[in-house]
Amino acid sequence: MADSGSSSLPRQARVVIVGGGIVGCSVAYHLTRLGWRDVLVLERNTLTSGTTWHAAGLVGQLRSTYNLTQLAKYSADLFRTLAEETGQETGFRQTGSIALATTEGRMEELKRGASMARTCGLEVEVIGVEDAARRWPLLDTHGVIGAVHLPKDGRCNPVDTTLALAKGARQGGARIAERVLVTGIRRKGGKAVGVTTPGGEIDAEFVVNCAGLWGWHLGREAGVNVPLHGAEHFYVVTEAIPGLSPALPVLRVPDICTYYKEDAGKLLVGFFEPNAKPWRKGPTPEPDGFLHLPEDWDHVMPYLELAMARVPVLRDTGIQLFFNGPESFTPDDRYILGPAPELKNCFVAAGFNSVGIQSSGGAGKAIAEWIVRGHAPMDLWDVDIRRFMPFQGNARYLHERTTETLGLLYDMHWPFRQYASARGARRSPLHQRVAGRNACFGETAGWERPNWYAPAGVEPVYEYSYGRQNWFPYSAAEHRAVREGVGLFDQSSFAKFLLQGRDAQRVLNEVCANDVAVAPGRIVYTQWLNERGGIEADLTVTRIDEERFLIVTAAATQTRDFYWLRDHVPSGAHAVLTDVTSGYAVLAIMGPRSRGLLQQVTDADLSTAAFPFGASREIEIGFARVRASRITYVGELGWELYIPAEFALGVYDVIAAAGGGFGLVHAGYHAMNSLRMEKGYRHWGHDITDENTPLEAGLGFAVAYAKRADFIGRAALERQRAQGVRRRLVQFRLSDPHPLVYHNEPIWRDGRLVGSVTSGAYGHTLGASLCMGYVQCDESSPAQSVLAGDYEIEVACVRCAAQPSLRPFYDPAGTRIRDEPRGALRPESIAGA
Ligand SMILES: Cc1cc2nc3c(=O)[nH]c(=O)nc-3n(C[C@H](O)[C@H](O)[C@H](O)COP(=O)(O)OP(=O)(O)OC[C@H]3O[C@@H](n4cnc5c(N)ncnc54)[C@H](O)[C@@H]3O)c2cc1C
């Protein structure tokens, strides 16, 4: 039995977990498995009374990425043995699951998913219509094209599973107290130091916010951003259906937004409709328990009718229960895990987007390991709380986005798919200008960014598919303009920080793997590493003068990178960090004609002798002084211009006016992706993450072993350099130009699975599909062992021959970037070779 009320509460615990749902209990269970006994779970009602009690109990394992699938797979493995271990039944049954496709696009999506499932070690088979009907006899197969069967998927009883986790946690020493409301997280000196309850304060070394739907409010009170919002989620349970087998697999028919599960002789039919109903305006602080929201037949009926057409027995079966319960959804449909950047020692595990039961085992294990070891057990960037921007906690934004996110669970996950709701949150100062050029915008971290430009007379909207989408030829033209002439990119979404002070160089040299002790006006490409040598960030540092450094990083990592550096400025150091992202627009002018164009609008000498690659200085354009940095992510001669925001329009207008004579083309992020793939430039979050080292990633050239500073990760890198690497990032070029590669596709060598794709794009100059990914290699001769053998990339269950390379396929010597006479070439310092 759990403790009840505050009377017997301890005054302190090593870890206090707020919330006794399946996630909080899983965190407690896994902490005790790691030997931490002094763990206290506080639940304001009774265990499972939040969202967990009414979950349908589907335990699928295949998620959108390799690591998230590993976590879901772990949950299923845990649930299989938990009852035996704890003595508490969980109701877990491995009935398998079937997902049906009724469109070609969906079939391709299922096949691509099946390919990825194999890399994760999941059993999976693509099955035909007859096979699907044999396994699910109540099915009307009209219009079904095919299906995928995952035999090890299952289902459980969410309440019993939570109680089993709680029992296991108590057996390991944890205490669980029910009917204890946590009224706040206490903070001191930027750290969480405990919680407050009506019965008094409790000290803690760590606080974990597992408050589910209520996690937004609990976080906000403590200055922690937990962007989630409630949505009503509906299912119905029928009367008993004679002869229904308890071994019936879970059936998902995403094309009609529906799942079906056998439930004690009845069918439970649930929906992920595209027009979701956010639950209440703004997240709620009230202590509700066992919520059962009102029925809404009008809302559900269109989907129920589709569900009945697919499983006709439903037409003749009564509905015993109409269930409507709230669940929390995040702006990107991915859950929230990890240490709150704003408050040390405060962790969050919340916002589970209707997959909290199947994710609970893995998420609880990951959080427990994160707390105990001090770092994430694997790359969890997809769900890392540090991916969010402060504005994403805005209640109106969350409310609007939630209308869309619930349905996205089952909607098509097209490549490049953009959100339709809550758009326009962050706009570049140049937004109206580029919109006037017919930009089609995509959203990253709330920024509206031009992904491609439609020609005059063409509407800038996506037409999605897994093949060449409508923008493919337009983006190809933008690509060619950058390779052959000059292109303009609006990259204002870059995150920009200033580190200033007498100790700025010293601090940066302890954080950066490369050496920033360069002359003012030089740009340094560098990684920030963790103690294990893994890449926490990938960015440039520009020395402005003796005491000022400009740090430029990706829009998506603004929060993460800012806090990483802030947390590594030693107390007492004279180094002040400021986020100046909003202060500057960024225009990148790239291509062999970029110098000619820019020289028209500035008196500064842009020749290579006066302004070499890697240099950065202020120049005058129009009435403005702008920082021009000679650097590139596309592999051509070019400059990034950092323009004070209020001058951005003026500078843009001057460049655009002069651009006519140079054939200036506006180019978007899709063209940039194609250009960077040809050069083999890595993308943090895909090709490089906190679990890959620069040596594995082929970025050893950016590590300054010779510098004196004992930078973070040095020891690990030196060890690895001595021993050799066991995996290496390799670039691939597919022989057949037709299949398109995106991410997570399996990599085969001589018929053996050796890795999976981290990112892919079509290279328009090379006329080939390109991708990269880590493959296992021999420590003693990584280059030879990795290049030997016949490679294939599996795309939608079909293996396609591919040529491997450790050097960029395009301009491997970097001649075009440096634009120097032959013989004067230095090794390229910003390349993936
Ligand atoms: C209709 C429906 C069907 C679903 N079906 C599935 C499914 O088939 N498979 C699946 O994987 N997922 C499913 N889900 C999702 C799943 O139920 C949730 O993701 C999961 O239960 C979330 O667990 P949790 O522990 O994060 O949250 P909760 O279960 O809500 O737990 C949070 C707890 O925190 C407590 N709390 C909050 N604030 C405080 C405070 N200040 N002090 C103390 N205690 C506090 C609450 O009382 C609550 O008990 C479904 C959801 C719904 C609504």
Q: 59 C-alpha to center of ligand 1: Å?
A: 15
CA distance 448 to 445: 9
Residue-wise pLDDT tens digits, 486-498:
999 999 999 999 9
Residue-wise pLDDT tens digits, 370-391:
999 999 999 999 999 999 999 9
Asked if pLDDT for residue 822 goes beyond 50, the answer is no
DSSP 410: T
421 three-state secondary structure: coil
pLDDT score, position 830: 36
Q: How far is Cα of residue 758 from the mean position of the Cα atoms in its chain?
A: 12
Q: 327 C-alpha to center of ligand 1: Å?
A: 7
Question: For residue 466, which of 748, 689, 141, 798 has the smallest C-alpha distance?
Answer: 798
Q: What are phi and psi of 413, to 5 degrees?
A: -95, 60
Q: Which mutation among 48, 357, 402 tests ligand 1's pocket best, with the greatest number of atoms within 8 A of CB?
A: 357
- The Cβ of residue 276 has, within 10 Å, a number of other Cβ atoms equal to 23
pLDDT score, position 783: 83
Residue-wise pLDDT tens digits, 48-61:
999 999 999 999 99
CA distance 2 to 170: 9
Strands 727-734, 447-453: parallel, antiparallel or unpaired by DSSP? unpaired
Distances (CA, A) of 442 to 297, 402, 582: 35, 18, 19
pLDDT score, position 289: 84
Distances (CA, A) of 330 to 213, 239, 337, 339, 619: 10, 34, 12, 17, 43
Query: Counting atoms of ligand 1 from 1, which one is nearest the CA of 58?
Result: 8
Q: 725 C-alpha to center of ligand 1: Å?
A: 42
Q: How far is Cα of residue 212 from the mean position of the Cα atoms in its chain?
A: 20
CA distance 24 to 165: 9
pLDDT band with cut points at 50, 70 and 90 for residue 283: low
Residue with tokens 């902490």: 31
Query: What angle, rounded to 10 degrees, do the helices at 594-601 and 648-659 form?
Result: 120
3-state helix, strand, coil in the chain (%, to 5): 30, 30, 40
Altogether, the residues listed in the chain come to a count of 833
Q: 273 C-alpha to center of ligand 1: Å?
A: 20
Pick the residue whose CA is nearest to atom 25 on ligand 1.
Answer: 21
- What is the token pair recorded at 506? 């010293």
Would residue 506 be called left, alpha or beta, if left means φ above 0 and alpha means ψ between -120 and 50 degrees? alpha
Pick the residue whose CA is nearest to atom 14 on ligand 1.
Answer: 354
Q: Region 609-626: what's the mean pLDDT?
A: 98
Q: Which mutation among 44, 45, 51 tests ligand 1's pocket best, with the greatest number of atoms within 8 A of CB?
A: 51
The set of protein residues with a Cβ atom below 6 angstroms from ligand 1 is 18-24, 42-45, 49-52, 54-58, 181-182, 210-214, 218, 233, 235, 323, 325, 327, 350, 352, 354-358
CA distance 633 to 674: 11
pLDDT score, position 114: 95
| Beta carbons of 542 and 552 less than 8 angstroms apart | yes
Question: For residue 14, which of 192, 182, 221, 217 has the smallest C-alpha distance?
Answer: 192
pLDDT band with cut points at 50, 70 and 90 for residue 521: very high
| Beta carbons of 693 and 714 less than 8 angstroms apart | no
Question: For residue 588, which of 475, 478, 490, 483 has the smallest C-alpha distance?
Answer: 490
CA distance 370 to 368: 5
Q: 284 C-alpha to center of ligand 1: Å?
A: 14
pLDDT score, position 2: 52
Question: For residue 273, which of 312, 243, 232 has the smallest C-alpha distance?
Answer: 232
Question: Is residue 429 packed enough to be buried (19+ CB in 10 Å), middle (13-18) or exposed (0-12)?
Answer: buried
Question: For residue 562, which of 539, 544, 585 has the smallest C-alpha distance?
Answer: 539
pLDDT score, position 208: 98
Q: Region 513-522: what's the mean pLDDT?
A: 98
Q: What are phi and psi of 641, to 5 degrees?
A: -110, 120
pLDDT band with cut points at 50, 70 and 90 for residue 568: very high
Q: How far is Cα of residue 339 from the mean position of the Cα atoms in its chain?
A: 16
Asked if pLDDT for residue 820 goes beyond 80, the answer is no
pLDDT score, position 823: 42
CA distance 228 to 328: 6
Pick the residue whose CA is nearest to atom 50 on ligand 1.
Answer: 55
Q: Region 554-574: what's the mean pLDDT?
A: 98
Question: Is residue 500 packed enough to be buried (19+ CB in 10 Å), middle (13-18) or exposed (0-12)?
Answer: middle
pLDDT band with cut points at 50, 70 and 90 for residue 612: very high
CA distance 120 to 320: 39
CA distance 569 to 771: 37
Asked if pLDDT for residue 802 goes beyond 70, the answer is yes
- What is the token pair recorded at 459? 């509407």
- As a dihedral over the C-alpha atoms of residue 738, residue 772, residue 561, residue 418, rounded to 10 degrees, the angle is 20
CA distance 26 to 96: 23
- What is the token pair recorded at 163? 């109680």
pLDDT band with cut points at 50, 70 and 90 for residue 826: very low
The DSSP bridge partners found for residue 625 are: 620
- The Cβ of residue 93 has, within 10 Å, a number of other Cβ atoms equal to 18
Asked if pLDDT for residue 6 goes beyond 80, the answer is no
Would residue 680 be called left, alpha or beta, if left means φ above 0 and alpha means ψ between -120 and 50 degrees? left
pLDDT band with cut points at 50, 70 and 90 for residue 827: very low
Sign of CA dihedral 763, 766, 770, 773: negative
Residue-wise pLDDT tens digits, 121-174:
999 999 999 999 999 999 999 999 999 999 999 999 999 999 999 999 999 999
Q: Longest C-alpha distance within the chain, in Å?
A: 85
Q: Region 604-628: what's the mean pLDDT?
A: 98
Query: Counting atoms of ligand 1 from 1, which one is nearest the CA of 180?
Result: 43
Asked if pLDDT for residue 4 goes beyond 80, the answer is no
Q: 353 C-alpha to center of ligand 1: Å?
A: 10
Asked if pLDDT for residue 831 goes beyond 90, the answer is no
